[in-house]
Amino acid sequence: MVLVDIAVVEGNPHLRSLLGWHLQQVGYQVQQIASLKQAKLSFERRQPALVVVDSDLPDGDGVELCHWLYQQRQSLILMLSARVGEKDIVNGLRAGADDYLTKPFGMQEFLARVEALGRRNRVVDAPLQLVCGPLEIDLVQRRVRYQGQYMELTPQEFSLLYVLVQAQGAPLSRSELLRRAWPDAIDNPRTIDTHVLSLRKKIEIDPRQPSIVQTVRNVGYRFNPDVLSQSIIAVPPLPLAAEQGYRNGLGTLSGKNQG
Protein backbone atom coordinates (compact mmCIF):
# COMPACT_ATOMS: atom_id res chain seq x y z
CA MET A 1 0.00 0.00 0.00
CA VAL A 2 1.60 3.28 -1.12
CA LEU A 3 1.30 6.15 1.33
CA VAL A 4 -0.74 8.63 -0.71
CA ASP A 5 -3.87 9.40 1.34
CA ILE A 6 -3.55 11.15 4.71
CA ALA A 7 -6.12 12.28 7.25
CA VAL A 8 -5.29 15.21 9.52
CA VAL A 9 -7.32 15.11 12.74
CA GLU A 10 -6.66 18.45 14.41
CA GLY A 11 -8.98 20.68 16.44
CA ASN A 12 -7.13 23.91 15.62
CA PRO A 13 -8.54 25.03 12.24
CA HIS A 14 -5.50 27.14 11.35
CA LEU A 15 -2.98 24.38 12.05
CA ARG A 16 -5.25 21.82 10.36
CA SER A 17 -5.41 23.90 7.18
CA LEU A 18 -1.67 24.61 7.27
CA LEU A 19 -0.74 20.94 7.61
CA GLY A 20 -3.21 19.94 4.91
CA TRP A 21 -1.90 22.57 2.51
CA HIS A 22 1.75 21.56 2.90
CA LEU A 23 0.91 17.87 2.49
CA GLN A 24 -1.04 18.61 -0.68
CA GLN A 25 1.85 20.62 -2.06
CA VAL A 26 4.11 17.56 -1.98
CA GLY A 27 1.52 15.32 -3.62
CA TYR A 28 -0.56 13.71 -0.87
CA GLN A 29 -4.33 13.39 -0.91
CA VAL A 30 -5.51 14.98 2.33
CA GLN A 31 -8.70 14.76 4.36
CA GLN A 32 -9.09 17.33 7.13
CA ILE A 33 -11.09 16.33 10.22
CA ALA A 34 -11.90 18.53 13.21
CA SER A 35 -13.00 16.16 15.97
CA LEU A 36 -12.83 12.67 17.44
CA LYS A 37 -16.45 11.95 16.54
CA GLN A 38 -16.02 13.01 12.92
CA ALA A 39 -12.86 10.92 12.65
CA LYS A 40 -14.52 7.70 13.82
CA LEU A 41 -17.52 8.20 11.53
CA SER A 42 -15.20 8.75 8.57
CA PHE A 43 -12.79 5.91 9.38
CA GLU A 44 -15.60 3.37 9.81
CA ARG A 45 -16.17 3.75 6.07
CA ARG A 46 -12.54 3.84 5.02
CA GLN A 47 -9.24 4.40 6.76
CA PRO A 48 -6.40 6.30 5.06
CA ALA A 49 -2.84 5.07 4.86
CA LEU A 50 -1.68 7.60 7.47
CA VAL A 51 -3.56 9.46 10.21
CA VAL A 52 -2.02 12.57 11.72
CA VAL A 53 -3.82 13.04 15.04
CA ASP A 54 -3.49 15.67 17.74
CA SER A 55 -3.44 14.40 21.30
CA ASP A 56 -5.95 17.06 22.43
CA LEU A 57 -9.15 17.12 20.40
CA PRO A 58 -12.17 19.33 21.19
CA ASP A 59 -14.41 16.37 22.04
CA GLY A 60 -11.97 13.84 23.42
CA ASP A 61 -8.46 12.52 23.84
CA GLY A 62 -6.46 11.84 20.68
CA VAL A 63 -4.80 8.93 22.49
CA GLU A 64 -8.22 7.23 22.53
CA LEU A 65 -8.48 7.63 18.74
CA CYS A 66 -4.92 6.37 18.37
CA HIS A 67 -5.77 3.23 20.34
CA TRP A 68 -8.91 2.64 18.27
CA LEU A 69 -6.99 3.06 15.00
CA TYR A 70 -4.30 0.67 16.18
CA GLN A 71 -6.90 -2.02 16.83
CA GLN A 72 -8.06 -1.72 13.21
CA ARG A 73 -4.48 -2.30 12.01
CA GLN A 74 -5.02 -0.42 8.76
CA SER A 75 -3.42 3.02 9.22
CA LEU A 76 -0.06 4.32 10.28
CA ILE A 77 -0.35 6.95 13.02
CA LEU A 78 1.63 10.14 13.59
CA MET A 79 0.66 11.81 16.85
CA LEU A 80 1.10 15.55 17.38
CA SER A 81 1.11 16.86 20.93
CA ALA A 82 1.97 19.78 23.16
CA ARG A 83 2.56 17.20 25.90
CA VAL A 84 6.33 16.86 26.00
CA GLY A 85 6.80 14.76 29.13
CA GLU A 86 8.36 11.32 28.79
CA LYS A 87 5.27 9.68 30.29
CA ASP A 88 3.02 11.38 27.71
CA ILE A 89 5.23 10.27 24.83
CA VAL A 90 5.37 6.71 26.13
CA ASN A 91 1.58 6.63 26.53
CA GLY A 92 1.10 7.80 22.95
CA LEU A 93 3.48 5.23 21.52
CA ARG A 94 2.00 2.43 23.61
CA ALA A 95 -1.49 3.42 22.42
CA GLY A 96 -0.37 2.61 18.88
CA ALA A 97 1.30 5.71 17.46
CA ASP A 98 4.08 4.93 15.00
CA ASP A 99 5.72 8.31 15.66
CA TYR A 100 5.26 11.16 18.13
CA LEU A 101 6.02 14.79 17.25
CA THR A 102 5.96 17.42 20.00
CA LYS A 103 4.73 20.99 19.49
CA PRO A 104 5.99 23.41 18.40
CA PHE A 105 7.62 21.83 15.37
CA GLY A 106 8.96 22.96 12.01
CA MET A 107 7.07 22.12 8.84
CA GLN A 108 10.12 20.53 7.24
CA GLU A 109 10.49 18.18 10.19
CA PHE A 110 6.79 17.32 9.99
CA LEU A 111 7.05 16.48 6.26
CA ALA A 112 10.22 14.46 6.87
CA ARG A 113 8.43 12.40 9.53
CA VAL A 114 5.56 11.72 7.13
CA GLU A 115 8.02 10.69 4.43
CA ALA A 116 9.83 8.36 6.85
CA LEU A 117 6.55 6.69 7.79
CA GLY A 118 5.84 6.23 4.09
CA ARG A 119 9.12 4.36 3.67
CA ARG A 120 8.26 2.14 6.63
CA ASN A 121 4.86 1.43 5.08
CA ARG A 122 6.44 0.21 1.87
CA VAL A 123 8.81 -2.12 3.73
CA VAL A 124 6.25 -3.58 6.13
CA ASP A 125 3.15 -3.83 3.98
CA ALA A 126 -0.02 -4.93 5.75
CA PRO A 127 -2.36 -7.31 3.91
CA LEU A 128 -5.12 -5.56 2.01
CA GLN A 129 -7.58 -8.42 2.29
CA LEU A 130 -8.30 -11.70 4.03
CA VAL A 131 -9.27 -14.64 1.84
CA CYS A 132 -10.77 -17.83 3.20
CA GLY A 133 -11.83 -19.97 0.27
CA PRO A 134 -14.63 -18.17 -1.57
CA LEU A 135 -15.00 -15.58 1.22
CA GLU A 136 -13.08 -12.33 0.62
CA ILE A 137 -12.77 -9.53 3.19
CA ASP A 138 -11.52 -6.25 1.72
CA LEU A 139 -9.77 -4.38 4.55
CA VAL A 140 -9.40 -1.13 2.60
CA GLN A 141 -12.96 -0.68 1.38
CA ARG A 142 -14.37 -2.58 4.38
CA ARG A 143 -16.62 -4.84 2.35
CA VAL A 144 -17.18 -8.58 2.10
CA ARG A 145 -18.12 -10.79 -0.80
CA TYR A 146 -18.72 -14.49 -1.28
CA GLN A 147 -18.37 -16.12 -4.69
CA GLY A 148 -18.30 -12.70 -6.33
CA GLN A 149 -21.43 -11.34 -4.61
CA TYR A 150 -21.24 -8.59 -2.03
CA MET A 151 -22.79 -9.07 1.40
CA GLU A 152 -24.69 -6.24 3.06
CA LEU A 153 -23.07 -5.89 6.48
CA THR A 154 -23.17 -3.03 8.95
CA PRO A 155 -19.77 -1.60 9.99
CA GLN A 156 -19.96 -3.48 13.28
CA GLU A 157 -20.89 -6.77 11.62
CA PHE A 158 -17.93 -6.31 9.29
CA SER A 159 -15.54 -5.75 12.20
CA LEU A 160 -16.93 -8.75 14.07
CA LEU A 161 -16.57 -11.06 11.05
CA TYR A 162 -13.08 -9.74 10.32
CA VAL A 163 -11.84 -10.42 13.86
CA LEU A 164 -13.34 -13.91 13.87
CA VAL A 165 -11.84 -14.83 10.49
CA GLN A 166 -8.47 -13.38 11.50
CA ALA A 167 -8.40 -15.76 14.47
CA GLN A 168 -8.28 -18.69 12.01
CA GLY A 169 -10.73 -20.88 13.88
CA ALA A 170 -9.51 -20.14 17.39
CA PRO A 171 -12.33 -19.42 19.86
CA LEU A 172 -12.58 -15.85 21.16
CA SER A 173 -14.30 -14.76 24.35
CA ARG A 174 -16.94 -12.06 24.31
CA SER A 175 -14.60 -9.73 26.16
CA GLU A 176 -11.86 -10.29 23.58
CA LEU A 177 -14.28 -9.68 20.72
CA LEU A 178 -15.42 -6.44 22.36
CA ARG A 179 -11.85 -5.28 22.75
CA ARG A 180 -10.82 -6.08 19.18
CA ALA A 181 -13.96 -5.38 17.17
CA TRP A 182 -15.68 -2.47 18.92
CA PRO A 183 -14.54 1.13 18.32
CA ASP A 184 -15.82 2.33 21.70
CA ALA A 185 -15.58 0.90 25.18
CA ILE A 186 -18.68 -1.14 26.02
CA ASP A 187 -19.19 -2.69 29.43
CA ASN A 188 -21.74 -5.37 28.47
CA PRO A 189 -20.16 -8.41 26.74
CA ARG A 190 -23.67 -9.65 25.86
CA THR A 191 -23.69 -6.96 23.16
CA ILE A 192 -21.68 -9.49 21.18
CA ASP A 193 -24.57 -11.97 21.24
CA THR A 194 -26.90 -9.48 19.56
CA HIS A 195 -24.49 -8.79 16.72
CA VAL A 196 -23.59 -12.45 16.27
CA LEU A 197 -27.29 -13.23 15.88
CA SER A 198 -27.63 -10.46 13.28
CA LEU A 199 -24.54 -11.67 11.41
CA ARG A 200 -25.78 -15.25 11.40
CA LYS A 201 -29.07 -14.18 9.79
CA LYS A 202 -27.05 -12.88 6.86
CA ILE A 203 -24.46 -15.61 6.33
CA GLU A 204 -25.98 -18.85 7.60
CA ILE A 205 -28.45 -21.07 5.74
CA ASP A 206 -30.13 -21.82 9.07
CA PRO A 207 -29.26 -19.25 11.76
CA ARG A 208 -30.81 -21.54 14.39
CA GLN A 209 -28.20 -24.19 13.57
CA PRO A 210 -25.12 -22.09 12.71
CA SER A 211 -22.13 -23.76 11.14
CA ILE A 212 -19.99 -20.75 10.14
CA VAL A 213 -20.00 -18.64 13.30
CA GLN A 214 -20.10 -21.27 16.00
CA THR A 215 -20.80 -20.94 19.72
CA VAL A 216 -18.06 -22.32 21.95
CA ARG A 217 -19.63 -23.17 25.27
CA ASN A 218 -18.24 -21.30 28.29
CA VAL A 219 -15.88 -19.40 25.99
CA GLY A 220 -17.51 -17.34 23.24
CA TYR A 221 -17.49 -17.77 19.46
CA ARG A 222 -15.30 -19.08 16.67
CA PHE A 223 -15.26 -18.89 12.89
CA ASN A 224 -15.33 -22.28 11.17
CA PRO A 225 -13.23 -22.06 7.98
CA ASP A 226 -13.77 -25.71 7.04
CA VAL A 227 -17.44 -25.21 6.25
CA LEU A 228 -16.71 -22.74 3.43
CA SER A 229 -15.66 -25.50 1.09
CA GLN A 230 -19.23 -26.80 1.33
CA SER A 231 -20.59 -23.53 -0.15
CA ILE A 232 -23.37 -23.02 2.34
CA ILE A 233 -23.13 -19.27 2.94
CA ALA A 234 -26.45 -17.69 2.03
CA VAL A 235 -25.81 -14.48 0.07
CA PRO A 236 -28.83 -12.82 -1.54
CA PRO A 237 -28.07 -11.07 -4.83
CA LEU A 238 -27.70 -7.31 -4.52
CA PRO A 239 -29.67 -4.85 -6.63
CA LEU A 240 -27.62 -3.48 -9.50
CA ALA A 241 -27.57 0.03 -8.02
CA ALA A 242 -26.33 -1.27 -4.69
CA GLU A 243 -23.58 -3.29 -6.29
CA GLN A 244 -22.52 -0.27 -8.30
CA GLY A 245 -22.40 1.71 -5.08
CA TYR A 246 -19.94 -0.77 -3.61
CA ARG A 247 -17.75 -0.59 -6.69
CA ASN A 248 -17.65 3.16 -6.38
CA GLY A 249 -16.52 2.86 -2.77
CA LEU A 250 -19.66 4.32 -1.22
CA GLY A 251 -19.46 2.20 1.93
CA THR A 252 -22.37 0.31 3.45
CA LEU A 253 -25.49 -0.18 1.38
CA SER A 254 -27.87 1.29 3.87
CA GLY A 255 -25.74 4.35 4.48
CA LYS A 256 -26.46 3.97 8.19
CA ASN A 257 -23.75 3.58 10.76
CA GLN A 258 -25.35 0.81 12.68
CA GLY A 259 -23.57 -1.04 15.40
Equal fold, 5-123 vs 129-247: no
Give the pTM. 0.50
Q: CATH for 129-247?
A: 1.10.10.10
Angle formed by the axes of helices 13-25 and 107-123, to 10°?
60
Q: What is the CA radius of gyration of the chain?
A: 20
Q: Could you tell me if 52 and 87 are in contact, meaning their C-beta atoms sit under 8 angstroms apart?
A: no
175: nearest Cα among 187, 183, 163: 187
Taking the C-alpha atoms of residue 141 and residue 154, their distance in angstroms, rounded to an integer, is: 13
DSSP code of residue 162: H
Taking the C-alpha atoms of residue 204 and residue 245, their distance in angstroms, rounded to an integer, is: 24
pLDDT value at residue 145? 86
pLDDT value at residue 105? 93
140 half-sphere exposure, CB direction, 13 A CA radius:
14
Return mean pLDDT, the chain. 80
With bands split at pLDDT 50, 70 and 90, how would you rate the model's confidence at 197?
Answer: very high
| pLDDT over 50 (residue 237) | no
Q: Could you tell me if 234 and 204 are in contact, meaning their C-beta atoms sit under 8 angstroms apart?
A: yes
Residue 71 vs residues 77, 79, 173, 181, 213: alpha-carbon distances, Å: 12, 16, 17, 8, 21
- Domain chopping of the chain, boundaries: 5-123, 129-247
CATH class given for the domain over 5-123: alpha beta
